[in-house]
Structures are given as C-alpha cells and as structure tokens.
Structure 1
C-alpha cells in the first residue's frame, strides 16, 4: 500500500490528466449509482428482478476483467519489480491480492453490486442479509479474477503479449455491444423471456448472488445455499490458483524469434516523405498490438451497435449507418498516434518532416478505414431497404471520414498521452477519446443541416446535395485541421518529445 501511495503521489500528471481522471471517476460513480438505483426500484416480484440484476452484474464483471486484461495490471506497482525480492511467493501473492482490492474500481463495483442487497431487503430481511453475503463473495471473486487476468495476459513472448492485447480488445468490444443491448434485454428479462437468456444469467457466476437472494425471499433453502457455496468455492479456487499464476509471471522470460525475409516488392506509394509515412502507418495499424486492438474495437463496436436494433427489436433502421459508426469510433481511438510512438518521435524531429508526417498519418487512416466504412454503408443500405437513408448515410460518412482524418493528428499533437509501464495508454486517454467523438460529430453539422432542410421541405434534390456538402466539408477539415496539426508539430515538437521521453524513462 505504501509503495502504491508513493508511486501515485510522485507521479507527474498534467492538468488535463488530472481533470480527465476526475471526469472518469464521476462518470463511473454515476453509472454505479444508477445500477444501485435499479436494484432499489426494480420489481420485487417473481424471478425477473433477479435475472435483471444478474445481467447487470455480468456487464460489470466483464468490464472489470476486460479492463484488467487491457491494462495488464497496476502501473503503480509493476509485478516485474518483485522478481529478485527475497519474499516468499505465497506471502507476496497474498499481499498483492489484498492490494488489488485497494482500488477505486472496487469501490464503484461495490456500489453497483449493492443493488442486489437493496433488492433483497425490499423482499425480506433474511434475503437482504443473503444479498450482503452474496455481494461480498461476488466482489471478492471479481477482484481475484481481475488480478489473475492482469498478471496472466502479459506473460511470455511478445507474440503472446500481442495476442493478449487483441483478446482484451475483443472483450472490451463485447462489453460495449452488450451495453447497448442492456435496456431491451432488461425489458425482456422482466417478463422471464427469452428462457435461454434467463438460464444463461442464472448459470453464470455473476448471477449467483441474485439467485441466492431471490431463493431466500421465496424460502428455498437449497436454492439459497447452493449459489453461496459455489461463490465461496470459486473464491477459494481463485485464491489458491493466484500464487501459481504469479510465480509463472515472475519466472517468465520474454523471448522473440523473428525471421526477417527480404522480398522485392513493387512500389505502390510515391517515393516521397508522405508516401513513406503512409507505408509506415499502414504497417503499424496492423502490426502494433495497441493500434490493432483499438481498430478491432472500432470494427466490432461500430457494426455491433447498428445490428443491435435488428436483434432486439427486429428493425433495420441503423444498418445503413454502420459505416458512419465505425468511422467515428476508429477516428476517436486513433487520436494518440504520437503517444503510441513515444520517444521515437526524435526521428521525426531530426528529419524535420513534421508536416509530411501529419499528412501521411491522415492519408494512411483514410486508406485503411475509408474503403471498409464505405463497403459497410453500401451493404447496410442494401440490407436496410430504406431509400430515404441513402443520402443521409453517404453524406454523413463523407463528413465523418474527413472530420476524423482532421481531428486525429490535431488531438495527437495537442494532448499526446504517453504509454504507461504496461505499454498501454493511461486512463486519461478514455476522456480524450470521448472528446474526439464530440469533435468528429461536430464536423458533420453543415451536412446534417442540409439533410434536415431537405427532409423538412420534402426535396430529394436538397437531400442528395448533402452528399456533396459532406465531401466538401470533409476535405476542408482534412486540409485545415491537418495544417494546424502540422504547425503545432513544428512549433511544439520538442516539448511533445520531452513529455513522451520522460514518460518512457519513468517506466
């Protein structure tokens, strides 16, 4: 605890980082309180309420474990520092396990899971007490599982680390898509349907606390004791397993066996500074695990959110806009390019090609995302069967692609977020991502205004004119914002490099 407190106390944090952390904490608190209020206000009759609480607990559990896999552990207390410390593995494992609970995320998780306690006391005092015990066991299980996942994912070779990053990105994508399905699924669970979903929620460990609480309210002794016993057994197994995971992590050695093959390739991109940057960026977006993971999140979430109404309500209204959603998310997560590069920015400063670097990053992102987003828009428009949505989807997509390509380098040079000790962006990056989403959405304002006017007057000509407006505004955003980013990179390049290199030295 003293080590963590000292690390956090002495960590250098910008004003933006401090504000971002506070904003993220307030947002997490609001979400946790809303989950608690759901347990207070949900219907206390039947088993529908227990199934609903089980689904909410599942979303919190998946989010907590997904974040643990993505972050790779506590950056304030790197596990690799304990390789040579002469402390018994079991003593060290017990101390680190307890340290894992001393986290703000545990407090937020406890508030959210307390909805089961409120649900139990509304039905019966005994059920409320069972809810307290079940919630405590669930909290312990999630904490231990998160600690184990954080230590297990980065272990081994570089290839395995990359696979762990992509796996965590897939988990985060699933959590986000599940979040968009929460409301319709909660409405279905209130009526006890679909039966397969109810059974799944009851079987998963995240729902055992709610199951025991509901059974206690109904006076079923076996239904009360079995889930609690299963939770206790799960906690015991995880606690006994944790020292072996820690031992494997501390004894592991990263190995790398890469074979470089030289092949003659036909040049496609121009032999210029911008062409070289485009080639480099295209490779990094595929090979760098951080970038590939964020790209995977954009691809899965952008498509998944638009498919949600089709699954939950049988409507295809959002299918034509799958490309737009993907482009917005991909643009938001790409706004930390110089933070990903770290101290390698020294090469850019030595060559003096800052403006070419900015243009190359913009064009590489457009080449990577543009065709995919356009294909999604075309296919979604055909499957959606809504002719009115075509000018909306095409016009907004053009504006979004241009706005995102302009925001990406500008946000990267204005507020670069260094990678932490685990090679991942810090928590302030999340706030920066939301800010980028807002900026990209604002770039569609002229196109959206023309679309609304065309719809209001009933003119298809004006509506289709919005496609041209989107292309124009997107092009202007690329040129203007790219020029601003280039000027900022030239003027503030040394300061950006100093901040990124100092962050690397602190690791």
Structure 2
C-alpha cells in the first residue's frame, strides 16, 4: 500500500505537468534553484569538517532549527494548494491507518523540497566524519530530523485542513507570511554584524539553547559525541525521538478524524451576517462617495489590497533595523535610511492603486452600467486611500524625529512624503484609467503569478516609477538642500511645495484620469475580460 501511494503521488505529479507546460517550467526552475541551494549547503557542510567542533555545532544547530521550523510553517502558508493525497479522499477505502500514515509520509518527500532536504541532511554526516561513533550519531540524528520534518509538516497540515477551507484563513496566513520575509534580510545583517563585533557568544548561547529543543537536538548530538559527552548526546537524540513520536501520534489522531468525518471540512457554521452598511452608511450619498465606500471595503476585506496595509507599518521597523545593522549603528537614528520611511511608505500606498481598475476585473462593468462619471470614480478611489494614508504617512515620517528628539529636518521629510503621496495618487489615477495589467483575480491569492502580458505590466510599473520620480523632483531637490545646508528655509519650502504641488498634481491626475475613463471605458472593460 505504501508503494501504491507513492506511485499515485508520482502519477498525479506527472499528469499535472502534462496538463500545464507552464507548471513544468515552474518545476524545472524550482528544481534548478533547489539544486543550487543544495550545492551551496553541501559545500558548506564539507567546509565545516575542518572547523572546530563548537563552531560546527553552532552553525548546524541554527541552520537545522530553521529547516525544521520551515517544514512546520510551510503548510500554513501553502494550505489548500497541494491536495493530491487529501486524507478525506481515502475515506471510502479500507486502508489501514498505519499504512496510510507511512504512505503519506513517504509521499511527502516526493518533490524538490523533500529531495533537497534529504540530501542536505545526508551531507551532515560528512561534517561529523570524525570517528565511527560520531558518524553513527550523525546518521541517526539526520534520520530523526528528516522524519521530524515530514511528520511535523503533515501534522500541521492536518490541523489547518479544516481552517484551510476558509478563504479568509488562507488569505490571512499568506499575508502574515510577509512579516518573516521582510525581516529576513535585516535579521541576517544583524547576525553578521553581531558576529563581526564579537557577538559570537550570544549566537553560541542561542545555539546551545536550541540544542536542547526538538528543533536542534538532533543536530547537536553528534557534537556532544565528538567531545566525549555520550550521555548528553543520547539525551538529545531521545528528545528528538520523543518529539517525533508525539507529532506522529497527533498526526494519526488528526488523520483518523479526517477519515471518520470526511464531510466535516467546510461544513461548519455559516459566517455571522454582517450588520449595517459599513462605509456606505457614513460616506456622502454621491457617486464619488459610493466609490470611496466600496474602495474602503476593498482595503479592509480584499487581501490584494490588505497586503499593502501589512507592509506599510513594517517598513519603518525594517529601515530602523537596517540603519542599526549598517555603518550608522553608532550614530543618531536620523542617519541612514530610517528618516525616509515616510516617503517610502507614501510611495507604496500611492502606487498601490495604480492597478485598481485591473483589480476590479469584470466588476468594473457596474461602473459603466451605472453611468458613473470618470472624475467621480477617480476622486472616490483617491479619497478612500488618502483617508488613512495621510495620517499614516505623517505618523511614520514623525517617528524617527520623535525618537531622536531633533525636529529640524522634519518639515522637509514631511513635505517630501506628502509630495510623493499626493503626486503618486494623481499619477496612479491616470495610469489605472489608461492601462490594465495582469493581476490576481478576485478571490485568488495576492501572491499568485497572474497570466497575461507580463512585459506590458513591467513596462507600466517601471515607467510609472520613473514618472513619479520626475513629478516629485522639486521636493527631492529641496530635501537634499535642506539636509546639506541645515537651513530651515529649505525645510519649510519643501513642505510648502509638497502640499501645493502635490495637491495640484493630484487634482490634475483625477481630472485627466476621469477624462480617459469617460473616453475609453468600454475598451478598459474589454481588456479586463481578455486578461481574465
């Protein structure tokens, strides 16, 4: 039965590749990328063979802990994507639970991640080729770690299986996955800086703690044997084995429940009815107000928009960490990229509506059928964004100066941020009325690679960024002069230019975008239907 499930997994994978040539291309690219990462890992593992035992232990424990944690978190982010061996599909067949567990565990290793993980863990035996007993501990630790990765992944997948039927759950987990991605680069920089400044003690202490947890115990045991602490190595291997048994028991319970109640998934309580009109109840009863209310609803409920709301609050944190990790770490918080957090956040928010008509997809037909004037559509979408973007950008811009207690350059940076925001919203109002780009369809993951003219999408995005840089050039020049001379006049001039020029460009963008929408509304809708 185990072999049959493996063949079934391979057959499903082969048929999927035959059905979609682009999926085959994606698998090939993923395989090449995985092989490249695997090659780097194997070279590193061979190099660790020549370093002292404590250093090799620290590196392997930290890397191994990240590996196990990655396998555990991946099903949350990718929930509902791979259902080829969904347990509920086997409910009608008299397959013993033990065989189904073993078959699904073996099938979990089929694929680029599973193969690369198995080969990388096998490579750890090269690092610990320092004696027969050490190699034995390394082999046992690698096997336990591989089994723990697979079983933990299946356990987490089983736990989130019922929740995965909820689109809201999938959207939230995928959006929250942005958080560790955004902090990955700054975290690596801080780690490298800490090691470079003699912070290896803290890193070693973190590895020592992880070495006694299920995440890193299997990777620490060979080092204990190499240093003559056989009892400690046995205890760490027992910790890994106990965690594996506990995870296998939990997975067995979840799998049995899925087989006994295959229809429970997605048959829970219906969502509570929404009361009130939301933004439609307090927005002006005008066409522009109705468009603004609908746009605000999108910002709250559509994950394609909500992603921007998650990214913007994290930007100042990432820039602050980047400043601390760079050469400005010993100076003021106003040195480095941190003071530009407001301007960067303004750009992200302003440019996020450059594809709002494309995001509407075929729902844009409602605007045409209702006869909404183009300027009202453009004004409503811009007003919905500015309603929360203006205070958010102002607060983010003020944060570095509040921490430093020095407000001399605050007017300049605030003028730059407001200029970028207002000018960017005006530019986006024109771009979205003139061009449609390939975006994920309503209800799809915001991270899905959309089908369509990717070349046009790249050209529109690149051209828009260049155009916004030209429109905000006066504010940029005045900000540079204010920072270089320290003159208050340049700082306040930047604020005035940002508000006045940005406001004028916003009004011009709303009017021009409205005229374009009135002139080519049917063409816009036709292009949206073709993209779909």
TM range (shorter): 0.7 to 0.9
Deviations 1:446-485 (A, max 9, x none): 3546544665677665566555665646974896599399
- The separation in 2 between residues aligned to 1:258 and 1:478, in whole angstroms, is 41
Could you tell me whether the CA contact under 8 Å between 1:332 and 1:408 is conserved in 2? no
Q: Distance in 1 between matches of 2:141 and 2:423?
A: 48
Q: 1:171 to 1:428 in 2, by over 3 A?
A: closer
Choose from 127, 139, 146 the match for 2:153: 146
The equivalent of 2:62 in structure 1 is 55
TM-aligned CA deviation for residue 155 of structure 1? 1.3
Query: CA offset at residue 132 of structure 1?
Result: 5.5
Q: How many pairs align?
A: 492
The CA deviation at 1:381 is 1.9
- The 1:75/1:163 distance shift into structure 2, 3 A limit, reads closer
3-state SS of 2:202 partner: coil
Q: Aligned pair 1:102/2:115, yes or no?
A: no
User: Aligned partners of 2:377 and 2:27: how far apart in 1?
Assistant: 30
Contact 2:145 2:218 in 1 (8 A): yes
Q: CA deviation at 1:375?
A: 1.0
Q: Is the 8 A contact 1:338 1:345 kept in 2?
A: yes
Aligned residue for 1:305? 318
Question: What's 1:503 paired with?
Answer: none
Map Cα deviations across residues 274-323 of structure 1 (whole Å, 9 max, x no partner). Answer: 3222212212322346654x256315532431342587757634553444
Q: Aligned-pair distance for 1:242?
A: 2.6
Could you tell me the TM-score, scaled by structure 1's length? 0.73
Residues 221, 239 of structure 1: alpha-carbon distance in 2 compared, 3 angstrom cutoff: same
Out of 483-492 and 317-326, give the one that drifted further. 483-492
Structure 1 residues 413 and 357: alpha-carbon distance in aligned structure 2, compared to 1, 3 A threshold: farther
- 2:388 maps to which residue? 368
Q: CA deviation at 1:103?
A: 3.1
The one-character-per-residue Cα deviations of 1:179-204 (angstroms, maximum 9, x if unpaired) are 42123225546622167634443344
Q: Is residue 416 of structure 1 aligned with residue 439 of structure 2?
A: yes
Question: Partner residue of 2:301?
Answer: 287
Work out the CA distance in 1 between the residues paired with 2:507 and 2:101: 51
1:58-457 maps to which residues of 2 (within 5 A)? Answer: 58-75=65-82, 77=84, 79=86, 82=89, 86=93, 88=95, 90=97, 94-107=102-115, 119-120=127-128, 130-131=137-138, 133-153=140-160, 155-156=162-163, 162-163=168-169, 165-167=171-173, 169-170=175-176, 172-188=178-194, 191-193=200-202, 197-248=206-257, 250=262, 251-252=264-265, 253-262=267-276, 268-288=282-302, 291-292=305-306, 294-295=307-308, 297-299=310-312, 301-308=314-321, 316-317=333-334, 319-324=338-343, 326-327=345-346, 344=363, 347-348=366-367, 350-351=369-370, 355=374, 360-387=380-407, 390=410, 393-398=413-418, 400-402=420-422, 405=425, 406=427, 413-418=436-441, 423-428=444-449, 443-444=468-469, 446=473, 447-448=475-476, 451-452=479-480, 455=483
User: 1:117-141 deviations in whole A, cap 9, x for unaligned?
Assistant: 56545x7786566555534543443
Pick which of 50-59 and 401-410 moved more.
Answer: 401-410
CA contact (8 A) 1:134 1:209 kept: yes
Deviation at 1:220, TM superposition (A): 2.7
Please state how far the C-alpha of 1:383 moved relative to its aligned partner.
0.8
Q: Identify unmatched segments of 5+ residues in structure 1.
A: 501-507
Q: 1:495 to 1:143 in 2, by over 3 A?
A: farther
**After superposition, what is the alpha-carbon deviation per residue over 1:151-173, rounded to whole angstroms, capped at 9, x for unaligned?**
43351598x76356435544541
8 Å Cα contact 1:59/1:178 also seen in 2 = no
Q: Determine the C-alpha separation between the residues in 2 that align with 1:478 and 1:214.
A: 67
CA–CA separation in structure 2 for the residues paired with 1:340 and 1:62: 34
Structure 1 window deviating more from structure 2 (206-215 vs 459-468): it is 459-468
Distance in 2, Cα, partners of 1:290 & 1:284 = 9
Q: Partner of 1:505 in structure 2?
A: none
Q: Which residue of 2 is the match for residue 483 of structure 1? A: 513
Q: Tell me if structure 2 keeps the 8 A contact 1:7–1:76.
A: no
Say which SS state the counterpart of residue 211 (structure 2) adopts.
helix
Asked which structure has the greater CA Rg, the reply is 2
Describe the SS at the equivalent of 1:414.
coil
Q: Contact 1:306–1:319 (CA<8 Å) still a contact in 2?
A: yes
Distance 1:404 1:55 in 2: 43
User: How big is each residue's C-alpha offset from its partner over 1:432-456, in whole Å with a ceiling of 9 and x where there is no partner?
Assistant: 9999997786544735465446656
- Describe the superposition over 1:32-67 as per-residue Cα deviations: whole angstroms up to 9, x where unpaired: 666666556678335344334433444455455444
* Counterpart Cα distance in 1 of 2:353 and 2:227: 51
Contact 1:153 1:161 in 2 (8 A): no
Alignment partner of 2:525 out of 467, 489, 493: 493
User: Compared with structure 1, are the counterparts of its residues 440 and 377 closer, same or farther at alpha carbon in structure 2 (3 Å cutoff)?
Assistant: farther
Write the distance in 1 (CA, Å) between the matches of 2:526 and 2:438.
14
Tell me the C-alpha RMSD between the 2 structures: 5.0
Equivalent-residue separation in structure 1 for 2:159 and 2:113 (angstroms): 20
